[in-house]
Amino acid sequence: MEAAAGSYLRDSLLRRQGGWRGGGSEREREREREMTALQLFSRGFTLTESNWNGNDPCGLKWQGVTCDEVTNTKIIGLSLSTFGLIGRLLPSVGNFINLESLDLSFNPGLTGFIPDALGNLTNLQTLNLQSCGFVGHIPSSLGNLVHLHFLALNKNQLTGNIPSSLGNLGAVTWFDLSENLISGAIPISTSDPSNVGLDNLTAAWHLHLNNNTVSGHLPKEICHLSNLIHLLLDGNNLSGAIPPEISGLSSLEILRLDNNKFEDAVPNNISQLSSLTELHLSNNSFNGMLPEMSGLQELRLLRLSMNSFSFQAIPMWLLNLTNLQTLEMDDDNLIGEVPPLLLNLPSLEALSFQSNRINGSLSLNFVTTSLTSLSLENNNITDISLYNNVQLQLSLGGNPICSDKRYQLSGDFCFIATNQQTWVPQPALCKTQCAEKIINPITCTCAFPLVVLFQFNAPSFPGINSARISSLETQLASHLNLNTNQVYAGSANFTDNHRLLMTVSIFPMEPSYALSQEQVFNIISQLSLQTVSLMYFGPFLVRPISNPPGSINHPKMRVGGVIVICGGATGAIILLAAITVYVFRRKIRAKKAEAADSFFAPWKSSTEDSGSTPNLKSARWFPYIELKKLTSDFSDSNEIGFGGYGKVYKGTLLSGETVAIKRAEKWSLQGAAEFKNEIELLSRVRHKNLVGLIGFCYDQGEQMLVYEYMPNGTLQDHLFGQKEAFDWKKRLELALDSAKGLVYLHEQTIPPIIHRDVKSSNILLDDNMVARIADFGLSRLIDDGKGHVTTQVKGTLGYLDPAYYMTQKLTDKSDVYSFGIVLFELVTAKHPIENGKFIVLEVQKALEKGVLSTCIDPSLGAYPEKDLKRLVNLALDCVVDIPNKRPSMDEVAKVLEALLNECI
């Protein structure tokens, strides 16, 4: 039975028979007060498939509600993490006067402002609102929560300044506002009339403000927080010098100041941070000579790249850092030779001196056995000694020695290495075949795992290996009280800003096929509330990717999950390009899997229409064995791409036609309805600006689509450096091509089709460099006569229409919004959300200030400034908040055509 609490509690719960009336004992009156508070609280959102029935949430143990142990009437905890809440947090939350813990994390559909009334919850010790959809300013009233120990507002879309009143949170140990759109200076007590600022957070161990737009200087007062162990300020607009008072952070282990605008010299007394294990100063404007840092004896990672240091030799004090694992000093004006003893540091694994002026001879006679990566590209090295370290990846591209015929160095050495590192686990040696379930590679059994994406914000090591994977699995199992064969770490990837993304699957113990919801909530709670400490992996954030679809122990409990749509052509790991909200219902069971198979059964014998089978027209069914043969058993040599669904392979049909075969991985299989949807849509549309479907495979538990082959990759590939860049005229042509494809879907098909996932990675280029729209897995028909369809929100973060996100009403203007974001990508070559900054806001600000050129892709070449502004204004029109004020795709296409005609 589905019970929507939001509507149930509004049906005059307190007037029902058996409900609490006025008078009675104090315990009864307490129950009534708390019931009223729940009634008002639930009006803001939709909550489905819970056990919120009856009128005694404490006695009936309502899911997510914790009551006091003494009277069992006072609500002291609300834990609705990953509940799929859609709506707003109303001011009525302030009625829970006894509340000690509020956890609404991982509910992206929970939007709007954070209410001031949260400041009324003066007993609150835990406030966890991470990874929701909150906007607006942080309420200054949160400063009233003087008993708060844990504050997590990270991964929202919060704007404005940090309220100085948050300095009143003197008991807080975890303070996280990262990955928002927060601006302004760091508030300090000496600049506040009430003498309150973040320098009053004397109990804090963790201060995370990274990936915002915080500006101004790093206040010297912050350096008095002697309990801090992690200070993460990277990815902001901080400037000025590092204050010499930095030495006051005596407990500090990780300091991230990279990707800011710091300048002046690095202070000498930074060497006094004797507990420091990681120092990140890359991508700033530090100058002068590097200070002597021999005092950093615990240092495992030192990143100093891309600064403006004076010309200097590689510092000899580096030889004293015997625990150092990672050293990066790219583009730092280094001169002279590489000291041979530096390569013999006992713990060193990766060393990078790219783009300096290092010259002379490179001696590799005494390289430590731990060193696996030595990057010296774009220097002036002219000589090299022999070496026998077979594990070492040596990169010398761009040095004179590579063109010296005396050495005849192979391409293995003379190439330009990429910094991005991936880990792909070995294939499971299991003969077990799983249908809808996922195989546990450790036990070779089938189950539904809880899959979690970890984002490690400051790993000290430079690469992933099996030993580190095993360590992580063991630590997680121990902390979460699990058996070691329940935890399986999957693919992993280092991002450009040295964060590590890793998927971890947590399987149930046999004979269960799924974790109970109680187990799921307990695991997610421990991870999100940071009660788990992972040695060597540093501070982390988590995001549930998918929850088990049901529980044999709790069959009526709601299961919520957040699916991460992944992308990237070269990685084997999920890259957080984008997030969508899915609510998995408890009826997804084995029966549904069987129904899906039978649903497709008629398709396997004939492509002719019969009964309820869809009209496939020219699309044909391919058996699994045939596609396996076409791709040489899905060999790596035939792989041409990788995305959130799995891999894409190149194959050649017997007719000689080259095709692209999109094969879904087991962990990303669509439901039968979505897979059927894409097949039906693609088989009924034909247009020169749409990728054509040739056939499909639904056989032996596989889901594959066979498309026309697009040899020139995606638009995203060309915009972000994987392939050649385009000039102004060509970008207009590609924009017009894409727009015409959407015009066809919106206005020339009956009924109209809304794509629902327009983005640069779904725009492919054929052999004539004509753009074609691809990937119709999320598309919907509009056949209700209203011009919209009400549906669950799906799409990709950054491209997702906010109006659709808020109302769940999908219209053709949702595609217009997404296309507007693509137009911004075309002129800036920046991702929709990059380092916590939203491309639309950045371009809008630049346009208003008259500095639009600062946002434009340098590789765009010459362009008419007047026409560029017209294109930017067109993009801004596409992304206005009110859908009805956006142009139609036909109107967009006409503007693009006019701009293109002016180039001819």
| Per-residue model confidence as pLDDT tens digits over 635-667 | 888 888 776 567 889 988 866 788 889 888 765
Task: Find tokens 């490179």 and name the residue.
Answer: 362
When pLDDT is averaged across residues 362-367 and rounded to a whole number, the result is: 86
At the topology level, CATH places domain 590-709 in: Phosphorylase Kinase; domain 1 (3.30.200)
Per-residue pLDDT at 644: 58
Q: How far apart are CA 563 and CA 109, in angstroms?
A: 13
Looking at the DSSP bridge assignments, the partners of residue 350 are 326, 373
Q: What pLDDT does 35 receive?
A: 86
Domain ranges of the chain: 1-65, 430-455+463-489+508-588, 590-709, 719-904
Q: Quick: pLDDT tens for 180-218.
A: 999 999 999 999 999 999 999 999 999 999 999 999 999
Give the pLDDT confidence score for residue 409 in this predicted structure.
Answer: 66
Q: Give SS3 for 171.
A: coil
Selected residue with higher pLDDT from 5 and 345: 345
Cα–Cα distance, 277 to 300 (Å, whole number)? 5
819-829: average pLDDT: 94
Six token digits for residue 647 = 């891999």
Mean pLDDT of 606-621: 46
Q: What is the pLDDT of residues 247-283, one digit of tens each?
A: 999 999 999 999 999 999 999 999 999 999 999 999 9
Residue 283 in tokens:
């991508």
Known catalytic residues?
A: 757
% of the chain beyond a pLDDT of 90 = 41
Nearest to 154 by CA among 220, 235, 78, 222: 235
| Strand blocks (E) in 340-486 | 350-352, 357-362, 373-375, 380-384, 393-395, 422-423, 438-440, 445-447, 450-456
Confidence class for position 62, pLDDT limits 50, 70, 90: confident
pLDDT at 6: 39
As a whole number, mean pLDDT of residues 23-27 equals 65
pLDDT of residue 788: 47
- Residue 715 confidence (pLDDT): 92
Report whether 77 contacts 66 (CB < 8 A): yes
* 574 vs 175, more confident: 175
Identical fold between 590-709 and 719-904: no
Is pLDDT of 130 > 60? yes
Residues facing 374 on adjacent strands: 351, 394
**Which pair of structure tokens corresponds to residue 764?**
């492919």
Question: Please, how many CA atoms are within 13 Å of residue 891, restricted to the half-sphere of its CB?
Answer: 12
Q: How far apart are CA 828 and CA 840, in angstroms?
A: 10
- Name the CATH superfamily, with its identifier, for domain 719-904: Transferase(Phosphotransferase) domain 1 (1.10.510.10)
In sequence order, which ranges of 529-572 are alpha helices (DSSP H)?
none
How sure is the predictor about 13, in pLDDT bands with cuts at 50, 70 and 90? very low
**Placement of tokens 């912050």 in the chain:** 222
- Residue 285: its pLDDT value, please? 94
Provide the 3-class DSSP secondary structure of residue 844: helix
Mean pLDDT of 804-815: 81
The whole-chain average pLDDT of the chain stands at: 81
Better-predicted residue by pLDDT, 631 or 555: 631
How far is Cα 606 from Cα 734, in angstroms, rounded to an integer?
38
DSSP state of 386: -
pLDDT band at residue 678 under the 50/70/90 scheme:
low
Take residue 505 and report the two structure tokens written for it: 């699957």
Out of 234-248, 503-517, 541-555, 874-888, which region has the weakest mean confidence (pLDDT)? Answer: 541-555
Confidence of residue 697 (pLDDT cuts 50, 70, 90): confident
Instruction: Report whether pLDDT(603) > 70.
Output: no
User: pLDDT tens-digit profile of 505-555?
Assistant: 999 998 888 888 788 888 888 888 888 888 878 788 888 877 665 433 332
- In this structure, of 13-27, 336-350, 413-427, 852-866, the range with the lowest mean pLDDT score is 13-27
